[in-house]
Structure 1
Amino acid sequence: MNHEDGESVRGPAHARPTESVWDYPRPPELVRDDRLVTVTVGSQVVARTSASLRVLETSHPPVFYLPRSDVRAELLRPRSGGTHCEWKGQASYWDIVVDGLVIHRAAWSYEQPLAPYEALRSHLAFYPSSVRCAVDGEAVTAQEGDFYGGWITHEIEGPFKGGPGTWGW
């Protein structure tokens, strides 16, 4: 529910404390998050949940993983190939198909995640550089670069790994 001035009844967005990505652990930590997360393509809602998991890793903006049960499976198409994360295991990639538009490699998942990241099974993450992602109504800014897929919101502070010259961090 919103007030007339657009402020959520939960309070203003800036009420959330800041988080420095340099305070995040390595290896990464999984944290439950009950904020409303939405993923859209045009006017189509691809995913909507208040039960996401955030992966917090040193130097990276968080990545939100949404339960597959809160994602419209009919809009997903698996891609061949994958990548390997030293912490989470083998990643699988997904295209999103909406009204004939194909957004290649817009999401990824860990179908058989390594310990202690088993909670990521049956979850998907989305690249905010490819689709519109929002957290409690705030549009997410994409982490620079094409690989990590971090979600930057007002409370997340960098500098962030991912852009030119940061691969050696």
Structure 2
Amino acid sequence: MITRHPVLPGQESVWDYPRPPRVEHVSKRVSMELGGEVIVDTDDVVRVLETSHPPVYYVPIDAFAPGALTPGEGSSFCEFKGGARYFDVHGGDEHRPRAGWTYPHPSPGYEVLAGRVAVYAGVMDRCTLDDVVVVPQPGGFYGGWITPEIVGPFKGVPGSMGW
């Protein structure tokens, strides 16, 4: 049995997010830093909301600094969004393999994700959403970004594999 955390005014529970996931444009500013450099700073932001997960934020590939993304190894498949490809992320003298991903040919309903990249916040120096520092989704497998207005519990914590 999952015990939902209380939701205060101005907060959202990940347990109110749908499955299959919903995609929506948001009026937020995303900034990412790596190796002492700002590699992304944009307000062209889309988020994906899925039950039990903090939002995953996607920004245009073109919003990344030149050279910040190079093709990474491997691929994966989401039953909803389709086939994903990975990017290695670079900033300053730092290199993070498979730290970003994209859906080059997303499934129907997720076409807005084409040409956009999401990044694991936990491997960046710093990620912010409207100047609020992001906490990465627990577990290292999922790429959700936790901010004070998002409440869980979140998939990725020990014991959540069956959620």
Same fold (TM over 0.5): yes
Letter in 2 for 1:87: F
Partners of 2:27 and 2:42 in 1: how far apart? 8
Provide structure 2 residue ranges, at least 5 long, that are not aligned to the other structure: 1-8
CA-to-aligned-CA distance 1:36-75 (integer Å, 9 cap, x gap): 1101113211111111000000000000000112112411
Cα deviation for residue 137 of structure 1 reads 0.5
Partners of 1:95 and 1:116 in 2: how far apart? 27
Task: Give the match for residue 16 of structure 2.
Answer: 23
Letter in 2 for 1:27: P
- Out of 30, 53, 70, the residue aligned to residue 60 of structure 1 is 53
Q: Could you tell me whether the CA contact under 8 Å between 2:73 and 2:86 is conserved in 1?
A: yes
- Out of 138, 150, 157, the residue aligned to residue 144 of structure 2 is 150
Q: Could you tell me whether the CA contact under 8 Å between 2:34 and 2:94 is conserved in 1?
A: no
Higher relative contact order structure (alpha carbons within 8 Å, sequence separation ≥ 6): 2
Partners of 1:89 and 1:99 in 2: how far apart? 32
Partners of 1:156 and 1:99 in 2: how far apart? 31
Q: Could you tell me whether the CA contact under 8 Å between 2:21 and 2:48 is conserved in 1?
A: yes
CA gap of 1:93–1:153, structure 2 versus 1, over 3 A, is same
Letter in 2 for 1:88: K
CA gap of 1:28–1:78, structure 2 versus 1, over 3 A, is same
Matched, 1:84 2:88: no
- Out of 14, 17, 26, the residue aligned to residue 33 of structure 1 is 26
CA-to-aligned-CA distance 1:106-159 (integer Å, 9 cap, x gap): 111111110110100000001011112101110000000121110000100000
Cα deviation for residue 164 of structure 1 reads 1.7
Task: Give the match for residue 159 of structure 2.
Answer: 165
SS class of match (1:64): strand
Partners of 1:79 and 1:133 in 2: how far apart? 20
Matched, 1:46 2:39: yes
Partners of 1:162 and 1:77 in 2: how far apart? 27
Q: Could you tell me whether the CA contact under 8 Å between 2:33 and 2:91 is conserved in 1?
A: no
Q: Could you tell me whether the CA contact under 8 Å between 2:52 and 2:152 is conserved in 1?
A: yes
4+ aligned runs moved over 6 Å, structure 1: none
Provide structure 1 residue ranges, at least 5 long, that are not aligned to the other structure: 1-15
Task: Give the match for residue 109 of structure 1.
Answer: 102
Count of residue pairs the alignment pairs up: 154
RMSD, aligned CA:
1.2
Partners of 2:160 and 2:153 in 1: how far apart? 10
